[in-house]
A = this chain, B = another copy of it.
Amino acid sequence: MVRDGARPGEHKYVAVRAYLADLVTTELAVGDAIPSERSLTEKFGVSRMTVRQAIDALVTEGVLERAQGRGTFVAPPRADFEMRLTTFGEEARRRGLTPGATVLRCEQLPAPAVVAEALDRETGTPVHHVVRLRTADGNPMSVEESWIPVDLAPDLLDDGVPDSLYAALRERDLDPTWGEEVITAADATPEELEALQMQGSRAVMRTARRTFGGDAAVMYSRACYRGDRYSVFVPLREARPTLVPRARPSDGDAGRPVQPSAPPGRIPEGSPR
Contact = CB atoms under 8 A, between A and B. Distances in A.
Contacts of A27: 246
A68 interface: no
Contacts of A21: 243
Interface string A107-124: 000000000000000000
Interface string A168-185: 000000001111111111
Given A95-B269, A186-B228, A270-B233, A243 B63 contact: yes
B203 A268 contact: no
B182 A185 contact: no
A216 to B, nearest CB: 15
B84 A237 contact: yes
For chain A, give the interface size range: 35 or more
B235 A180 contact: yes
A251 to B, nearest CB: 11
A231 B265 contact: yes
Interface stretch (A1-9, A71-79, A157-165): A71-79
Contacts of A235: 83, 178-181, 272
Contacts of A177: 238
Contacts of A266: 231
A193 to B, nearest CB: 12
A180 to B, nearest CB: 5
Indicate the member of A26, A76, A185 with the most B CB atoms within 10 Å: A185
Nearest to A60: B60
Contact of A234 (B81, B95, B271): B271
Nearest to A261: B79
Contact of A202 (B29, B202, B238, B267): B202
A151 interface: no
Contacts of A249: 29
A201 interface: yes
B29 A80 contact: no
19 contacts: A31-B255, A56-B56, A60-B60, A76-B256, A76-B258, A80-B242, A80-B273, A81-B82, A85-B239, A86-B271, A90-B239, A91-B269, A180-B234, A181-B234, A182-B231, A186-B228, A230-B269, A233-B270, A234-B234
Given A31-B254, A185-B203, 6 more contacts: A25-B246, A29-B254, A79-B180, A185-B185, A186-B228, A232-B268
